[in-house]
Structures are given as structure tokens and as C-alpha cells.
């Protein structure tokens, strides 16, 4: 009961988790429900053994949200044993991104600790909500040709873009839109991490830039040539007031790396650093607008 109340506290705190998208005359629009609608969220409990966890995960995460009327969050508590439970939370991407995990878990933990003690949580007031951000973004893009200047940058930066990276493959390429992918997890040893961090320090760059340069170099050597283009997600939270907010702010930028001329790794890192910084300077332009403007 305390955990269910804590989940409702988090939904009441973050408007994005209680926003629905009804459609009028074929056009969807956002409608923020009142904080009292957080009470619609239930936390069903199910008894499952360890072997039944994968199917239980799939049942929760495979839910198809009706965004026109349904909260974009579902949760279930799975009892694996007398003293072991697994909380499964599925949130639609329209209301959540990778960064949102941090504030969501922090707020849920604080609310649960309070509810276990029989009290309501006391959170600091959020400086803005997601709807405030959408209005700010719209005003920003419309102000003084901001969006057009950003699009001009991307048109120039992506001019002559290769249609695809000519990478070797062991089976025919499938058509666009399959979205099938795999996942490989691995651990980087601490000494290797320290070494990479030292390379970044010497190159006045971030660890991300070092790893991006490594990726560009490897792709080039296996057949991608000297013009390596890689898309990268960015948090999209350039204002500090957005850091504790749950919502989908993530955007995509394109980093084009010049690997021609057999550069040393230091030279390649310098090129990648410059390309990443230029891309981040124009990260506020929505990626879908960039695609429309570049029209690849």
C-alpha cells in the first residue's frame, strides 16, 4: 500500500505522467489531468517464481497504451518469494526518456520512505513542468530566426551526406522500418577507463568524444571510408530547471567525422571534438525538422 501511494505521489508531482493525448478532428493535443487523477494508478501484486519473471516482465512492458485516455504509466509488484519483490514499471516514451529514470527513482524512493512512516512526502517545488518547456521551446524556435539559423547550419554540415555507411555485412540489408536490433553488454576494466579518461584530459575533450572517435576510427577501418556519420542522442535539457523533471526531452544530433588522410588518433580526436561541439551548439533544433530540411 505504501508503494502504491508513493507511485501516485510521483504521478501527481510530474504532469507528464498524467498527460493524455485525445484526438480532435484527426489532430492530437495534450491534456494535463488534475493531480487527483493520480489515484487512477493501481499497483497489482502477483505471485511469481524466479522462472516466471521474464513472462511477467513481458506482460507489463507489452501493454499497448491508449494515450487518448490512459495514464502513460503502468506498474506491477511481483512477489518472487516471501522477502523478495520486483517492481516493474512501464512508461510510454511520450512521457519518459533515459534521463527521467534518475528523478523518477529519487522521487519514488523519497515518497516510499515517507509513506512507510505514515506521512506524505515533502518535495521541493519543481521550477517548471513539461508543458512549460513545450511553450518555451516553441517561443525559442520562433524568436529572431533561431530555428532557421539552426537549419542553415545543419544543411551545410550535412551537405553531401553519404546515403549509407558502406559497412561489410554477413546477410542482405533489410528494408527500412524493421527496427530490429540486438544488445551486447560488456564491462570496461577500471584501468582501461582510467586510460581513456587520461586521453580525454590530454585532448581537452570528454570521455564521450574519445569513445566517439574510437567508433569513427573503427567504422572507417572496416569499410565506412573517410566520411563517417553517426547519430547520437542528447539529453535536451540545456536549462538547469529541467534536470529534475520527468518527461521526454531527448533529441538526436548528427556528428560527421572526417577520418580521411590517415590521421593519428590525436588528430582524429581533435576533429571529432570540433564536430561534437558544433552539433551540440545546435542541439535545440528538433531532429525531425532537420530531417525535413536536409531531405536525405
Asked if residue 161 has pLDDT above 90, the reply is no
Low-confidence winner among 39-48, 110-119, 139-148 (lowest mean pLDDT): 139-148
- Residue 164 banded pLDDT, cuts 50, 70, 90: confident
Asked if residue 174 has pLDDT above 80, the reply is no
The mean of the pLDDT values for the chain is: 92
Rounded CA-CA distance 227/49 in Å is 51
Asked if residue 141 has pLDDT above 90, the reply is no
Rounded CA-CA distance 201/284 in Å is 27
Give the model's pLDDT for residue 176. 67
Alpha helices in 100-161 (DSSP H): 101-116, 130-142, 146-157
2-125 against 131-164+187-294: fold identical: yes
Q: For 94-116, what is each residue's pLDDT tens digit?
A: 999 999 999 999 999 999 999 99
Give mean pLDDT, residues 122-144: 89
- Complete edge-to-edge strand list for the sheet that includes strand 84-91: 45-47, 73-81, 84-91
Grouping H, G, I as helix, E, B as strand and the rest as coil, residue 53 is: helix
Asked if residue 178 has pLDDT above 80, the reply is no
Give mean pLDDT, residues 234-247: 91
Instruction: Using a pLDDT cut of 90, give the percent of the chain over it.
Output: 79
- Residue 177 banded pLDDT, cuts 50, 70, 90: low
Give the model's pLDDT for residue 149. 92
Q: ∠ CA(199), CA(203), CA(207), 5° rounding?
A: 55
- Residue 167 banded pLDDT, cuts 50, 70, 90: confident
Segment holding 213, helix H or strand E = helix 207-219
Specify the CATH number for 131-164+187-294; select among 1.10.630.10, 3.40.50.1980, 3.30.1960.10, 3.30.559.30: 3.30.559.30
Q: For 212-233, what is each residue's pLDDT tens digit?
A: 999 999 999 999 999 999 999 9
Low-confidence winner among 67-76, 169-178, 199-208 (lowest mean pLDDT): 169-178
| CA 65 distance to own-chain centroid | 19
Do 7 and 43 meet the contact criterion of CB atoms below 8 Å apart?
A: yes
Asked if residue 275 has pLDDT above 80, the reply is yes
- Where b means 16+ CB within 10 Å and e means fewer, 14-40 reads bbbbbbbbeeeeeeeeeeebeeeebee
Give mean pLDDT, residues 119-138: 91
Question: What class has domain 2-125?
Answer: alpha beta
Give mean pLDDT, residues 244-251: 95
Alpha-carbon Rg for the chain in angstroms = 23
Asked if residue 243 has pLDDT above 80, the reply is yes
Q: Which residues contact 263 (CB under 8 A, 6 or more apart)?
A: 271
Could you tell me the pTM of the whole model?
0.84
Rounded CA-CA distance 85/77 in Å is 7
Give the model's pLDDT for residue 144. 83
Do 62 and 88 meet the contact criterion of CB atoms below 8 Å apart?
A: no
Q: Could you state, in order of their start, the residue ranges of all structural domains in the chain?
A: 2-125, 131-164+187-294
- Residue 267 banded pLDDT, cuts 50, 70, 90: very high
Amino acid at each position: 500500500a505504501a508503494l502504491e501511494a508513493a507511485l501516485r505521489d510521483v504521478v501527481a508531482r510530474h504532469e507528464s505522467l498524467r498527460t493524455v493525448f485525445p484526438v480532435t478532428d484527426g489532430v492530437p493535443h495534450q491534456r494535463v489531468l488534475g493531480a487527483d487523477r493520480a489515484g487512477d494508478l493501481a499497483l497489482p501484486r502477483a505471485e511469481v517464481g524466479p522462472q516466471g519473471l521474464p513472462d511477467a516482465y513481458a506482460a507489463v512492458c507489452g501493454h499497448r497504451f491508449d494515450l487518448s485516455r490512459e495514464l502513460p504509466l503502468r506498474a506491477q509488484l511481483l512477489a518472487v518469494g516471501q522477502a523478495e519483490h520486483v517492481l516493474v514499471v512501464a512508461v510510454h516514451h511520450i512521457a519518459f526518456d533515459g534521463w527521467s529514470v534518475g528523478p523518477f527513482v529519487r522521487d519514488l524512493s523519497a515518497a516510499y520512505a515517507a509513506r512507510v512512516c505514515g506521512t506524505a512526502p515533502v518535495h521541493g517545488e519543481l521550477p517548471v513542468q513539461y508543458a512549460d518547456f513545450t511553450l518555451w521551446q516553441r517561443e525559442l524556435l520562433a524568436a529572431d530566426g533561431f530555428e532557421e539559423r539552426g537549419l542553415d547550419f545543419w544543411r551545410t554540415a550535412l551537405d553531401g551526406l553519404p546515403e549509407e555507411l558502406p559497412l561489410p555485412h554477413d546477410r542482405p540489408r533489410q528494408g527500412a522500418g524493421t527496427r530490429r536490433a540486438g544488445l551486447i553488454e560488456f564491462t570496461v576494466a577500471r584501468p582501461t577507463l582510467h586510460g581513456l579518461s587520461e586521453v580525454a584530459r590530454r585532448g581537452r575533450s570528454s570521455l564521450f568524444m574519445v569513445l566517439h572517435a574510437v567508433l569513427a576510427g573503427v567504422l572507417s577501418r572496416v569499410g565506412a571510408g573517410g566520411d563517417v556519420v553517426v547519430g547520437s542522442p542528447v539529453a535536451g535539457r540545456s536549462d538547469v530547471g529541467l534536470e529534475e523533471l520527468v518527461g521526454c526531452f531527448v533529441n538526436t544530433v548528427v556528428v560527421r567525422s572526417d577520418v580521411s588522410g590517415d590521421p593519428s588518433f590525436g588528430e582524429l580526436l581533435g576533429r571529432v571534438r570540433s564536430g561534437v561541439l558544433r552539433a551540440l551548439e545546435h542541439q535545440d533544433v528538433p531532429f525531425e525538422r532537420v530531417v525535413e530540411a536536409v531531405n536525405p
